[in-house]
Structure 1
Amino acid sequence: MRKAILSSAAAAVALASILAITPKASHADEEAGVPTGTQRNVAGIVIHSGSRSVQVGTAFFVAVPSSVFPGRSFVYLVTAHHNLLDGNGSPRAGLLLTLEDSATGKMREEPLPAENRWVLDPNQVKADVAAIPLTPKGASIAPIPLGSLLGGDDPLARPETGAQVYYLTAATVGVNQRRFEALARFGHVSVADPADTEVIGAGLQTLSYLDGGSAPGFSSGAPVFVSLGLRFALWGILEANTSLNTDPVFSGLAGVLPARYVAETCKKMGEVQDKTLQGAKLPE
C-alpha cells in the first residue's frame, strides 16, 4: 500500500542502499561560498523527447545514519513529488536521472523507479516531497548528512530575513563530450516563516520564500542551503512553480518547502530499514 512508509520491495534494497558516511565540508570550503561537499549531492531529472533530453526537475541525495551498522548510512534520493507527475497529475513515464560517472567524469543517465515506489511524507502525504532508497553504482555523489538538515526542533530552522542562501541544479554541458555540472544560484531569505501557498501541480503547500528572481521550472526539487555563520544547512526544497504566482506580494520570489519534511521522511525510512536489517550481515 502507498500509505506504508516502506513497501516490502523497498525494504529489500536496504542492504544495497547503505554505505560509508560522506565527510562534511570543511569550514574553509564554507567560507569560500559554496561548500565543495554540497556540489555532488544533486542530480537532474529528465525525459527524452525525440533525440533530446529535456530536464523536468532536480533531485538530491540525503544520508541517514544507521543505528544497526555504526559508521554507515542509508542513501535516499529526494525530489519534489510533482516532478514525478505530468500535467494531469498522472505518473510520468520514462523519467531518467542524470549523474556524473565517477570513473570517466562524463554525464550518464539511469532510469528512475516508478512513482508508486517512492515514499511520501509520513505525517503529511500531500507535502510536495518524495524519496526513495537509491545508491547509483559508480556515480560521483556526496549525500547531504541528515545532521545538515534544518528540522522542526532546530533553533535555527527559521533563519533571519536577509540571510544568504543558494540552491543547486544539475546541468549537462557540452555536445559531443557531455559532462555533468552542478550550478549554484544565489539569493537571500525573503519570507522566513512558512505560510500557505498554492503550487502549480502540487496544490496547497506550506512554504518560505527566497529572492533572486524567478527560478527556471527545472529547478523544482533543488536543495536550498542557508548560511548560518560558518555553517551551511539545508533550508528546504525549491518550489520553482511558485514563480508563476499571480499574487504581486510574491512577485520575483521562489518558494521553499521546509527541510523538516525531508528530514521526517528520510528519518522514518531509516528507522524502517534499520528494523529490517536487525540481525543481517553487512555485505563486504
Structure 2
Amino acid sequence: MRKVTLSIAAAVAIASFLAVAPTPSRADNAGIVPSGIMRNVAGIVTHSGGRVLQVGTAFFVAVPSRAFPGRSFVYLVTAHHNLLDEYGKPRAGLSLTLEDSKTGAMREEPLPLESRWVLDPLAEKADVAAIPLTPEGASIAPIPLGSLLGNDDPLARPETGAQVYYLTAATVGVNQHRFEALARFGHVSVPDPADTEVIGAGLQQLSYLDGGSAPGFSSGAPVFVSAGLRFALWGILEANTSLNTDPVFSGLAGVLPARFVAETCRKMGEVQDKTLQGSKGPLPE
C-alpha cells in the first residue's frame, strides 16, 4: 500500500496546488474539438545523446475542493508505465513539455521521481499514475473531474463506431520551438472493457478504438467521446496495445476507462482537503 497511503500523504502535504476551478469546455459546433480542451495535455520527454526523446503523454485534471468552494486541486495524470523503463524500473531524468503562457514557447519542467506518484487506490495495478502539479506560468486548462466518465454514465459505454479523439503534445519548429497540442480522431471498436496484456503494464481492463497507427508516445493521452455538445473523458490511451498479437485486437489501440483516473484523483482531493482543514495557516493565494 506504499503508493496509496504514504505517497498520497507526502504528495499533497504542500497546499500550494490550489487553483481556480475551471469551467467545462463546449464545442462551438458538433465534431470540433473545444479550444479549451486543447491545453490540458503535456509531453513526457527524456534526453539522450543530445537529443530529446518523446516518452509519453500526460494531462491535467482539476478536482474541486470541498473545504474551499471555488478552488480546485490540479493533478498531472499519465499511464504509469511511462514512468518506468523496459525493465520495469523507475526512469530517471523525465521532464514535462509545456507551453509558456507569456511567450508561447515550449519549455520543460522536471518531473518528480516515480516513487512520489500515486496509483489507483482501488486497483493499484491499473496503468494510471497521478501527482499534484501546477506548473507556474504554464498555459494549461485542466479537465474538470465532472467530465471524467464513471461506470454509471451512458457515455462510458458508447456505441461501436462512435467518434472519439485523443490529444498528444508535440514540439514544432527548428530554431524556435513551439508547443502544439495535436488531436487525432478515431472510432470506438470495443466499448466494453476486456482483459488485455499491455507491454510494460501487465494485464489491464481496456476498451478499444481503431487507432492502430497511434505512435508510442501517445500512451497516457486523454481520450474523449462526445454526444452533441458534450465532451467527456472516456479514458487513457494505451498505445502499446497496437503491438498486440491477438488477432481479435490486432491494429487497435486500448483505452483504460476514465473511472480509474477519477478514483485516483478524487481520493487525492479528499486527502488534500483533510490536510488543509487540519492546517492552521491561511488559504494559499
Query: Could you say which TM-score interval applies, normalised by the shorter chain?
Result: over 0.9
Aligned to 1:248: 247
Aligned to 1:159: 158
How far apart, CA to CA, are the structure 2 residues paired with 1:250 and 1:27?
31
Aligned to 1:147: 146
Contact 1:6 1:272 in 2 (8 A): no
How far apart, CA to CA, are the structure 2 residues paired with 1:132 and 1:110?
14
| SS of equivalent to 1:142 | coil
* Deviation sequence 1:173-215 (CA, Å, 0-9, x none): 0111000000110000100000000000000000000014321
Stretches of structure 1 that go unaligned for 5 or more consecutive residues are none
Q: Give the alignment's TM-score, normalised by structure 2.
A: 0.96
Aligned to 2:69: 70
> Partner amino acid for 1:180?
F
How far apart, CA to CA, are the structure 2 residues paired with 1:32 and 1:250?
26
Q: CA deviation at 1:55?
A: 0.3
How far apart, CA to CA, are the structure 2 residues paired with 1:26 and 1:193?
26
How far apart, CA to CA, are the structure 2 residues paired with 1:71 and 1:48?
39
* Deviation sequence 1:206-259 (CA, Å, 0-9, x none): 000001432110000000000122211000000000000011221221000000
Q: Give the alignment's TM-score, normalised by structure 1.
A: 0.96
Off by >4 Å, runs of 4+ in structure 1: none
1:27–1:218 CA distance, 2 compared to 1 (3 A): closer
| SS of equivalent to 1:141 | coil
| SS of equivalent to 1:23 | coil
How far apart, CA to CA, are the structure 1 residues paired with 2:284 and 2:92?
33
How far apart, CA to CA, are the structure 1 residues paired with 2:5 and 2:142?
25
How far apart, CA to CA, are the structure 1 residues paired with 2:8 and 2:223?
29
| SS of equivalent to 1:249 | coil
How far apart, CA to CA, are the structure 2 residues paired with 1:104 and 1:273?
32
Q: CA deviation at 1:32?
A: 5.3
Q: CA deviation at 1:127?
A: 0.3
Aligned to 2:134: 135
Aligned to 1:191: 190
Aligned to 1:10: 11
Aligned to 1:21: 21
Contact 1:129 1:262 in 2 (8 A): yes
Q: CA deviation at 1:35?
A: 0.8
Superposed counterparts of 1:226-237, under 5 Å: 226-237=225-236
How far apart, CA to CA, are the structure 2 residues paired with 1:25 and 1:124?
29
Aligned to 2:207: 208
> Partner amino acid for 1:73?
S
Aligned to 2:224: 225
Contact 1:58 1:169 in 2 (8 A): yes
* Deviation sequence 1:73-99 (CA, Å, 0-9, x none): 000000000000000000000000000
Stretches of structure 2 that go unaligned for 5 or more consecutive residues are none
1:49 aligns with 2:19: no
Aligned to 1:99: 98
> Partner amino acid for 1:4?
T
Contact 1:5 1:119 in 2 (8 A): no
| SS of equivalent to 2:5 | coil
1:59 aligns with 2:48: no
How far apart, CA to CA, are the structure 1 residues paired with 2:194 and 2:203?
10
Q: How many residues align?
A: 282
How far apart, CA to CA, are the structure 1 residues paired with 2:88 and 2:10?
24
How far apart, CA to CA, are the structure 1 residues paired with 2:59 and 2:161?
25
**Alignment root-mean-square deviation, CA:** 1.3
> Partner amino acid for 1:169?
T
Contact 1:5 1:268 in 2 (8 A): no
> Partner amino acid for 2:222?
P
> Partner amino acid for 2:22?
T
